[in-house]
Amino acid sequence: MQKNSDPRPELEGGDGAPVEPVSEETAAAAPADAAAAESKSLFDQLLRLKADFENYRKRVDREKPALIRHGKRELLERLLPLYDVLLSAHQQVVLQTEQSEDEDREPAVAEMMRGLEMIFGEFTKLFKGEGVTVIETVGKPYDFNRHEVLGQVETDEVPEGGVVDEIQRGYLIDDQTLRPAKVRIAVPVKKA
């Protein structure tokens, strides 16, 4: 065994290897290196957060028109039953007017008809402005995307599978079905 002539105590690491003494410069640089590493880590997090936010903003910008269309579609779907009721009322007034011979009711009925026609005019403007159109049905071939079959009629007047009559109007919005038309379709007459 040799004696250590160095007055400083000999330090050994956990594996038995001698540990290098740390100079004052190295000791001072350690906190600066740690701060630089933390700064770099925070900067990287900031860049990732910025990229995530940009991706989020782009996704929202892409989805916004679809959400607006969906909201518009829902509102129009809720207005259609009201329009149907007004249309039915208008048809009843026309029918009653044609069947009535009471001359005293004519001015009141005429005023009611004008009022209903004004309402229909506003609905027509609204529908046209939003791209809503009526689905053509009678005499047209059945289209499962635009028609809902509620019955069949034996007839030779309309080709088989063609729409014979319309039970409820259907509507398109920007060429997509808003509400399918409820129809009855033709089937061949059974020969006895």
Residue 25 has pLDDT above 90, yes or no: no
Note the pLDDT of residue 35: 85
Q: How many residues are given for the chain?
A: 192
Q: What is the mean pLDDT of the chain?
A: 83
Q: Confirm whether 13 is domain-assigned.
A: no
Sign of CA dihedral 63, 68, 69, 75: positive
Domain residues for the domain of 176 are: 134-187
Predicted model pTM: 0.64
Looking at residues 136-156, what average pLDDT do you find? Answer: 91
Note the pLDDT of residue 21: 58
- Percent of the chain whose predicted confidence (pLDDT) is above 70: 81
Split into its structural domains, the chain has a count of 2
CA gap 178, 167 in Å, rounded: 16
What values do phi and psi take at 163, rounded to 5? -80, 125
CATH code (residue 165): 2.30.22.10
Q: Confirm whether 145 is domain-assigned.
A: yes
Greatest alpha-carbon span in the chain: 137
